[in-house]
Every structure is written in structure tokens, then in C-alpha cells.
Chain A
């Protein structure tokens, strides 16, 4: 054994990237502060009314709101990754790192870990901040829900890598990434129930990854066991596998 681990430097680089991220005020505001504030504002506006109302629509909103914010957190994480990869590539940072024994996989895994850590913090903050507006949500399985958000984020990050591979310039990466990800929102069953969509749109909704993430998150928020959502989990695994395979073929270091 030469001691050359395949992911050498992973721990140090991950910790370093977290520190670097925290030093960038705009990134922190976009990824953590805005989703939490959004949840607070929405929760404060609709929360009390939703808690009292007994209609099915209100029931859906009770779940829909936290799931929407969770999806927003996941998308923010992915967009932040896209931006970072684009900036690092344009600035020659990826190239400089490639001229060391650091493996390319390590660099990418590092950024995934950083984004997942950030997602965890944001979800927990959101939960704590929103608690008073969701008295009924006190028995929501926080751990399970956080894991579900992390798993969904992890899966959607692979789409981010494809976007980061295709969009070469740091200037266009975030807007094009937003376009790609946010355009999935109307079809994912979050705002309009799947059954209410016309058949053509239902077909679209069945092939977009966000649909499965929303289904998983809603279920877990409502207290479903994971076993009830094996289909969603499988679909998100497939998304990750396929997108990672594509990304690893089209990814460019410079």
C-alpha cells in the first residue's frame, strides 16, 4: 500500500470549501437565508388559516408549502453547484487542481458533500423557523424529511453536472440552470395535482425527476413510511445514474 487513497484530500477539501462558502455573503444569503425567509413569510401569511381550515385544498397546502420550500432549497443547491463549477472552470481552478494528485472525482464529490451539508442546515433552520406557524407539523418526522431532501438534492445535483458541463461560461450558467430546473416546477405535481393535468402534461410530468422528488417529500412530510415510496426512490436513483453517466462523458475541465 502506498497510502494513495482514491479520495485523498476529500475531508480537507470539503472542510475548506465549506469555510470558503461561508466567507461569501451572497452565496450564503441565496442558499440559506432566502429559503428560510420565504418559508417564514409564506408560513406566516397562510399558516394560521391553513391550520384551521378543514378543506382538502388546505390539507394539500399544509404539505405543499414545506415541500415547495424544500424543492426550492434543492434547486438552490444545484444552481449554486452549477455556478461554482462554471466559475472554477473559467478561473482555471479546476485545471490547477487537476495538475495535482487530486482525483477529478474527489473534486466533484467534495462539491456534492458541501451542497448536501448546506441543504441539511437550511432544512433544519427552515423547520425550526417555521415551527410556530405549523403547530400541526410538530410531529413531522424531521430526520426522515431531511434525509428525503438530501436524497432528492443528491439526485438533482446530477442534472446540475450536465448543465455545468454544457454551459461553458460562468455568466450564462446560473440563468440557464434556473431555466432548466424551474421549468420543471409546473409539471411536478406541486401546484397542480397530477390527476388534474391534461394527458400530454401528465406524460411530461412522468419523465421529469422533480415529480418523484415532490412525491417522496410530500409523502414523508405526511408521515408515510419509506416503503410506500420505493418507486420514487428508484426513479431518483435512475435519474442520478443516467445523468452522472452523461455528465462524466460531456464534462470539461477547462
Chain B
């Protein structure tokens, strides 16, 4: 891989980055970064961009290098090699200029046990030239009734919402969220997802990491999958699924005579499995479902159950890495 030396002319190339739509709207550009701790290479030749106004997710299992990568982009760690540009700035050399423009939520961060919610927001607001109204922010994040509570008394979901508040206090252009919903129950997780969508809808860019494929699929406009410190692929969740897992499955329950043979004759169908009245039709391409529905109506089949199964990012991860993300 070619390492391009520091330079800021417009012709600078970003090797290894093949994102469609990459252009002047990239708020983060990472090119060929590597970070090792002793003999352990945490991040190796990682390149990607984050575009303005999107929710970008760096996804992968624990220990894949997500947090290291994100902390390099935030300017908290210095990569051994490679280039990073955030909002046109070098996150380490231009840290003072960059910090007021970004908001950061760190993985497993804590605050002083006995700091009150409003005190934390008030302190953070005092650190920036411009800040949004703290009370309104607490209201938006549903923390108004906990404003006088000590940090140590907050639930996991409340702590994370407070960290989001602190990350948003300076009205940042770019917000970093590292493993935001880890350890939260499904209900709290959904509430947080809505908040993150709200951040994007207000025009701010979100860069998050997660090891939850469902979270990435529901929340992210684009994702990069990282495994053993390397980016395996990146695209929209739907794009990744379409490219790596084009299989579609339709499960039809019908007592119609000869249904299995008719399904097997469809253009897009690869296999048909029959278990009593239940037929599982597997095929590839987006036409499979339409073909099955046409076939059902053409032959006037009486259907008692109908279900389609679509592959998810979980399946993409399995296809790309050969193992499940939970392994």
C-alpha cells in the first residue's frame, strides 16, 4: 500500500478507499492507519470515510480494533502510520481547533460518583465557547427528573443518555459514540436509537461503533465491517446484504397438490424443501418473492401461512469471516 505524505492539495489520493459518493462532503478521512500495542497489532491498514450528515457504523466483534480506530480519529491515540483528517483537521496536531467541533462519548467512561447530572452538564457547557441550553438538552434526553441525582445513582441507560448530552452540549458537527448501548436492556436500547436518529435528523454527523449487528442494521446509513484490525468491507447495510448474501427464502404453507413441483419450476428458485404442507423455497435475486406470489395466484392455491426470510448483517458477517460475530 502506498503511504501518501502529509499534504493538503486537492489531488491527494486516499488509497484503499473505494466509497461511492466520497468527495468534499467527507467529514472523516482515514487512510492506511496502523496501531500496535507491543507485538499486538490492533489496527492494520484501515481506511474509510465518514460522509456529512450520515450515521456511519464501524462494526465488528469485541477486540476487532473498533475502539482503537475511533480513538485515533478522536485524537486520543496517535496511529503508528497512516493519515487521519477530521473536518479537514489533523486530530492530534490541530486538537485545540478540532475539539470544540466534535462531541465524544467513550466506551465504559465514568464520571465522578457524586457529581450531579446538572453539574456535569454545567461544567461541560463552561468548557466551550458556544453551547446549547443544558436544561433543554436534559429534557430532550428524558433526564429532567434526574437532574439533581448523583451520577452513581443513575441506571445504565440514564448514564448513557447523560454521556450523549455531554457529547452534544457544544452543538458539535460530528459526534462519536463508542459502544453506546452495550449492557442496556432492549427497551433502553431502542430509546437510545431514537435519540441517535434525532442527532442525524438535526444535521449532525454520527460516527459510532457497535458489535450488535441489529443495531447497525437499524441505525446506520453506512457501515464498515472490521475484523482482526482490518476493514473487511463497507457499504450500506442493504448493499452489503445484496452483494454478499443475495439468497432469499420464502416459506409457504399450502395443501395444494403439486405445489412443490410448481415452486421448483420458478426461474429464481434454487431449492424447494417440503415438510408436510410447509414449503421452504430458496433462491437468489429480488424476483423470487414476486414469482412465488404470481405462482400462488395463477394456480389459485389456498395459502394458510406465508413468510419471507431476508439475510441480515449477521449473515453478511458470517459469510465474510466464516464465523458468527458472537464466537
Instruction: State the A residues within 8 Å of B (CB).
Output: 2-4, 8-9, 12-13, 16-17, 19-20, 23-24, 88, 91-93, 95-96, 98-102
A88–B115 Cα distance when bound, in Å, is 13
| CB closest chain-A residue, reference B111 | A93
Of A9, A13, A20, the most chain B CB neighbours within 10 A belong to A20
Whether the Cβ atoms of A91 and B110 lie closer than 8 Å is yes
List the B residue with the shortest CB-CB distance to A92.
Answer: B109
Asked whether B76 lies within 8 Å of A93 as measured between CB atoms, the reply is no
Known: A16-B119, A24-B114. A101 touches B100 (CB 8 A): yes
Residues of B within 8 A of A16 (CB): 115, 119, 123
Query: Which residues of chain B are near A8, meaning CB under 8 Å?
Result: 126-127
CB distance from B187 to the nearest CB of A (A): 26
- 8 other A-B residue contacts (CB within 8 Å) besides A101-B96, A102-B127: A9-B126, A12-B126, A13-B123, A17-B112, A92-B106, A96-B110, A99-B104, A100-B127
B71 to chain A, nearest CB (A): 9
Chain A hits for B129, CB < 8 A: 2-4
Binding site for A on B (CB under 8 A): 74, 76, 96, 99-100, 104, 106, 108-115, 119, 122-124, 126-129, 150
CB distance from B104 to the nearest CB of A (A): 4
Docked Cα-Cα span, A2 to B111, in Å, equals 28
A97 to chain B, nearest CB (A): 9
Determine whether the beta carbon of A93 is less than 8 Å from that of B110: yes
| 5 A-B pairs with C-beta separation under 8 A | A4-B129, A95-B76, A95-B109, A99-B104, A101-B100
Main secondary structure of the interface of B (DSSP, over half): loop
Across the interface, do A101 and B109 meet the contact criterion of CB distance under 8 Å? no
Q: Would you call A93 and B96 a contact (CB within 8 A)?
A: no
Which of B96, B106, B110, B112 has the most A CB atoms < 10 Å from its CB?
B112
- Which residues from chain B contact A91 at a C-beta distance below 8 Å? 110
Check B123–A12 contact: CB distance below 8 A: yes
Q: How far is the CB of A98 from chain B (nearest CB, A)?
A: 7
- Please indicate the chain B residues that have their CB under 8 angstroms from the CB of A20 in the complex: 112-115
Given A12-B126, A92-B108, A100-B99 contact (CB < 8 Å): yes
From the candidates B76, B122, B128, name the one contacting A99 in the complex (CB within 8 A).
B76
B234 to chain A, nearest CB (A): 25
Q: With A and B bound together, what is the CA distance between A88 and B112 in angstroms?
A: 7
Contact of A98 among B76, B115, B150 (CB under 8 A): B76
Q: Is the CB of A96 within 8 A of B123?
A: no
Task: Establish whether residues B112 and A100, one from each chain, have CB atoms under 8 Å apart when the complex forms.
Answer: no
Q: With a 10 A CB-CB cut-off, give which of B76, B114, B123 has the most chain A CB atoms.
A: B123
A61: min CB distance to chain B, Å: 40
Report chain A residues within 8 Å CB of B115: 16, 20
A4 near B96 (CB under 8 angstroms)? yes
Docked CA distance A102–B127 (Å): 6
Bound-state CA distance A98–B96 (Å) is: 11
